[in-house]
Structure 1
Amino acid sequence: MAHLSEETLTLLALGEARDAQDQQHVASCPDCAAELASLERVVRAGRAEPPVLTAPGPGVWAAIHAELGLSAGVAADPLAGSRGGDVLDVASEDAADEASDDARDDATSHRTGTPADDGAGHGGATVVDLDARRSRPRRGVPYPLAAAAAAAALFVGGISVWGAQRVGLEPDPTVLATAELEPLAGYTARGSAEVDERPDGTRQLVVRTDPADVNGFKEVWLLAPDAQRMVSLGVMAGDEAVFVLPENLDVGEFPVVDVSNEPIDGDPTHSGDSIVRGVLDA
């Protein structure tokens, strides 16, 4: 069975279906359905909102403490009070820290008698000891939360990079030969074909045609120049199809690409009714 191309599966995953026949093919082809499901997961991951972090279990800090060889003074789990599925809102913790800093600044101002600015540029300006503020310890983001956030970022980043490679950044195949497919008697459709060599060394024939009315199904063939010998590659579902070529198939011996209109009669031979045809040129 011929499978849909990676380009077609990617468009389907993005919700940009090009042909109803592509959908029908996916419904009947487990391999293409599995590939499409994988691409859809990548798309959902890329479009999803950032995950909400929850407090990790007590074993996380214990493992971090042991791995980093920290002192006994910080052995207690800093998130012991955040259990039970509480959501860790990093922005809220930062805001609370800032509020605490401001409160300490106000208290210092009252104790020292230093006037505070009224916000409009009037009155005396508050003198802030920058060195003191830098040296004052802040709670910040706890180690376990930072570790969990880093792990989540690496995981999501890995998915994004993998998805990008899968969708558009994997190495392009090497084009070995191409053909312009011209219409035969009774048809107006045109098309193209190319033989590609993938990075793993496998060869594939990619065939594209204009829509054509057929009374059965479209089948792709490679013919000898005299058209007396031929190899069937399979059924073409839709207007684009990819066929993996057998390793021992000599394209030079069968250089003619032919797409035929085949009736559903159980006869495996060529119907003699060709839609388009062209010769591969290396």
Structure 2
Amino acid sequence: MAHLSEETLTLLALGEAGDPRSREHVAACPDCAAELASLQRVVRAGRAEAPAVTAPGPGVWAAIHAELGLSDEVAADPLAGSGDGARGHVPDDSTEDPTEDPTEDTAEDEAGRATGPADSAAADDGAGRGGATVVDLDARRRKPRRGVPYPLAAAAAAAALIVGGVSVWGAQRLGLEPEPTVLATAELEPLAGYTARGSAEVDERPDGSRQLVVRTDPADVDGFKEVWLLAPDAQRMVSIGVMAGDEGVFVLPENLDVGEFPVVDVSNEPIDGDPTHSGDSIVRGVLEV
């Protein structure tokens, strides 16, 4: 027995009026019936309405503003005064009848499967499946798609990221916090056996804390890269932390006098359990105010 074509099954799944013989074939052919059921599930999923998205309340921005210590110029909630379309409600810009039951198509499909394709064909008056109106595909294509306004989506995403725990360094890169003040910079020059170069700077953040930002070219190391601040005679030093890659950001202790330890040093440290400097420096430079 020859099976129905994909085009015929697709039209049946969309609710288009079909040849009674096609419906009789589906009723008698398990393979075509299974294929039609699969296509109907796809159609129902494509017609399903997307859930409305609710914007964050005004307290979210107030918490963000206080946590990051932002200026008074950006104290106002960016979503305030933007209307119902931006706060707690997504406007319905479609032309659908508000009394229309969104489950109507699903109910029709279920009814069609319950009575069987052959019975549905018998009740078909030429207007569609079981007397239902044929779906106007062109009209559906012309309906505007529902969605969240771009400014709302962007603000909600930023709020979710910050509330979820974006670091201060990440907030700076997102432009949500004022740029830190550069207190000192250094050009890092390669030492014997290396060709990598780099840079370092001490920044003061809006909350008054300081951070050391170190960047280097890739270097071939047999262990890991550790950042140090050295006294000018290189006899005293403080370990600042380990670089996981070619850039590292380290919060400096409040009582650390950078003027007493102005030399930035990045060393190649073997994994030997010895916390002291290996004596194998990759780059080094002096911080200048």
Q: What TM-score does the superposition give when structure 1 sets the normalisation length?
A: 0.47
Q: What TM-score does the superposition give when structure 2 sets the normalisation length?
A: 0.46
Structure with the bigger RCO (C-alpha within 8 Å, sep 6+) is 1
